[in-house]
Amino acid sequence: MSATRTPEPGSPEPGSAADVVRAWDARADRYLDLFRHELDGKPFDRAALAEFAARVGPGGRIVDAGCGPCGHVAALLASHGLDVLGIDLSPRCIRLARLEQPAIDFEVMDQRLITADAFGGPIDGLVSYYSLHDQPKRLLSTTFAAWAAVIRPGGRLLVVAKAGTSDGVVDDPLGSGIRVYWAEYTEAELAAAAEGADFSVDTIAARDAYDDEIDARRIALSAVRT
């Protein structure tokens, strides 16, 4: 999976913020239909999110970065007692997430440009559940640095990502028919980016795809802000 075609004239730079909005506004409704109940069949993921919530502690203020149109990760974390804000670059994703999870707060925001002021001060944790795949891998360290800047020392980070080596424009793996940016990561890349941004990694777990998923290993990195 790599970049082989020239983008249409006038289309956003692949992997840019404008490109994320283009790609996700176009397929947010489809994604919601496909994935709104996905956590029901994913015990590994529910356990990772529950462990994150336990480590943050009840009432902790956390951000679900790249929350998508389902808002189901934000809702699960809220059910564990966390005070959650879901953020996403795609206005369509945020509109759908607000309808889907009316008890949760959602805002349009770029996870690479967040500041503590936007959250009323440093937060207790951040979850990135598949929010790193739409951007070029060269932006990985910038993204971790942005997360580190808003999480208080001792605060928690959970990153879930698909494993692999892709870093370019592909046909949408979800079958929407559009071209999208698609980056995958190794455990070593994620760990290096975390350690390079003042996080201390405590666990990196991985699982194979469940039967109904795209065939790729999933990585879950858990870290604390030093």
Give the residues lining the site for ligand SAM (CB under 6 A): 20, 24, 35, 66-68, 70, 73, 87-90, 93, 110-112, 129-131, 133-135
If phi > 0 it is left, if psi is from -120 to 50 it is alpha, else beta; for residue 130 that is left
Q: How far is the CB of 113 from ligand SAM (least distance, A)?
A: 8
φ, ψ for residue 97 (rounded to 5)? Answer: -65, -40
Tell me which DSSP letter residue 119 carries. Answer: G
* Spatial distance between the Cα atoms of 155 and 132, rounded to a whole number of angstroms: 20
Helix, strand, coil proportions of the chain in percent (round to 5)?
35, 30, 35
Is the Cβ of residue 61 or residue 92 nearer to ligand SAM in the bound state? 92
* 3-class SS of residue 141: helix
Q: How far is the CB of 32 from ligand SAM (least distance, A)?
A: 9
Q: How far is the CB of 166 from ligand SAM (least distance, A)?
A: 14
Is the Cβ of residue 35 or residue 198 nearer to ligand SAM in the bound state? 35
Q: How far is the CB of 112 from ligand SAM (least distance, A)?
A: 5
Is the Cβ of residue 44 or residue 130 nearer to ligand SAM in the bound state? 130
In the bound state, the residue with its beta carbon closest to ligand SAM is 68
Exposure letters 139-167 (e unless 16+ CB within 10 A, then b): bbeebbebbbebbeeebbbbbbbbbbebb
Is the Cβ of residue 130 or residue 195 nearer to ligand SAM in the bound state? 130
Three-point CA angle 62, 214, 29, nearest 5°:
60
Q: How far is the CB of 15 from ligand SAM (least distance, A)?
A: 9
Q: How far is the CB of 157 from ligand SAM (least distance, A)?
A: 15
**Taking the CB of residue 16, how many other CB atoms lie within 10 A of it?**
15
Is the Cβ of residue 55 or residue 112 nearer to ligand SAM in the bound state? 112
Q: How far is the CB of 90 from ligand SAM (least distance, A)?
A: 4
* Spatial distance between the Cα atoms of 28 and 24, rounded to a whole number of angstroms: 5
Specify whether the CB–CB gap between 36 and 99 falls below 8 A: no
Is the Cβ of residue 129 or residue 144 nearer to ligand SAM in the bound state? 129
Is the Cβ of residue 56 or residue 93 nearer to ligand SAM in the bound state? 93
